[in-house]
Amino acid sequence: MTNPVRRVAFVAHCLLNQNAKVSEFARCAGVFSPLVGRLVEHGWEIQQLPCPEMSFLGVSRWWQSREQYDTAGYRRHCRALAKSVVDLAELHIAHDYDLVVIGLDGSPSSGVRLTSTKPEWGGRPEGAIAGGSSRRPGMGVWMEELKNEFEERGHPFPRATGIAMDAQDFDLEAALVDLDGFLDAADETTAEGARP
Amino acid sequence: MRRVDQRSLRVVVLPDALVNPGSRLNGGDGTGTPDPLIAALVEDGWGFVKMPPHGLAATTARAIVETIAGDLVDYLRHDHRVVIVAVADLPGEGVWLDELRAALARWNTDLPPIARVARPATAAAIDAVRAA
């Protein structure tokens, strides 16, 4: 008899709740259903990460670049949230779960592979009218602090990907192909590690 | 050019046990799919705020609930509709109800309307959410 493989995806808050997005960035009404459908289909449980931007500045916050969020105060806020997330992750680890993180590429906070940049933003918030921030490879501030918390507590950061919904050139079809590839690879990894 | 923003301005607070009913953390065997109500809420355009599972240490859970309460206060201040889905036979009705009530009270905010559903929560239970 084989124990069922247990898997949990820690997903960026806004992938389950687009109401948390900064204005003009909600691409659907509530839940990004293609993600949830795929996770359920692949047998993943779902844990929702907090949105540090939402809890720090609220739903009416301005657009901000990664450089604007990269402050000691915001990082302290992210780290405080990360402690609870890793507590929850450790509970899953203790129950032999396989973990992944699915962030939001293009986000100044929740990007995993892609984040935002606009070093010149600051002061009167009219710069965004002339055009949004740019994108560059790298993690957002929140994901960095989450990764740091995992690692400082002796855990490798889980396999992670991001859905590039915060990129100006977001391509839904390509994003889903990418996500399927990530989940298929996770299936293979989990199957290899399945216990008799 | 302004982007089209598609948010619904509707948020539903959900027990972990409805999203992850087979979870080992909820005493399950690690299998199982979300209750049918979850798919109905997705289809209906609600944003999800999922509460922590009850296997979590109380101090950690309280910290998470505090953060969630702060978010809910902000949604309510900005004219969002917020509904709590509660399940009577779960500890804290599945949503850490006492802790959530206390955390909201610190911001002089009452609990949002509650839709009480039975498990497994059927798709038809969405009527209770809409009516709450």
For residue A131, with 0-12 CB atoms within 10 Å meaning exposed, 13-18 middle and 19 or more buried, which class applies? exposed
CA–CA distance, A196 with B47 (Å, rounded to integer): 39
User: Which pLDDT band, with edges at 50, 70 and 90, does A192 fall under?
Assistant: low
ipTM above 0.90, yes or no: yes
CA nearest to A183, candidates A37, A15, A76:
A37
A32 touches chain B (CB under 8 A): no
For residue A11, with 0-12 CB atoms within 10 Å meaning exposed, 13-18 middle and 19 or more buried, which class applies? buried
**Min Cα–Cα distance to chain B from A90, Å:** 10
Q: Strand, coil or helix: what is A9?
A: strand
A19 touches chain B (CB under 8 A): yes
Test mutation, B7, B59, B73, chain A, max A CBs within 10 A:
B7
Nearest-by-Cβ selection for A18 from B7, B29, B53: B7
Give residue-wise pLDDT tens across range A44-102: 999 999 999 999 999 999 999 999 999 999 999 999 999 999 999 999 999 999 999 99
In a domain, A34, yes or no: yes
Backbone angles phi, psi at B29, to 5 degrees: -105, 10
- Judging contacts by C-beta atoms under 8 Å, the chain A residues touching residue B96 are none
**Min Cα–Cα distance to chain B from A41, Å:** 9
Hey, what are A38's tokens? 């795929």
Give residue-wise pLDDT tens across range B10-58: 999 999 999 999 999 888 887 788 999 999 999 999 999 999 999 899 9
Q: How many domains does chain A have?
A: 1
A117 touches chain B (CB under 8 A): no
Residue A51 structural domain: 7-192
Hey, what are A104's tokens? 């939001």
In a domain, A2, yes or no: no
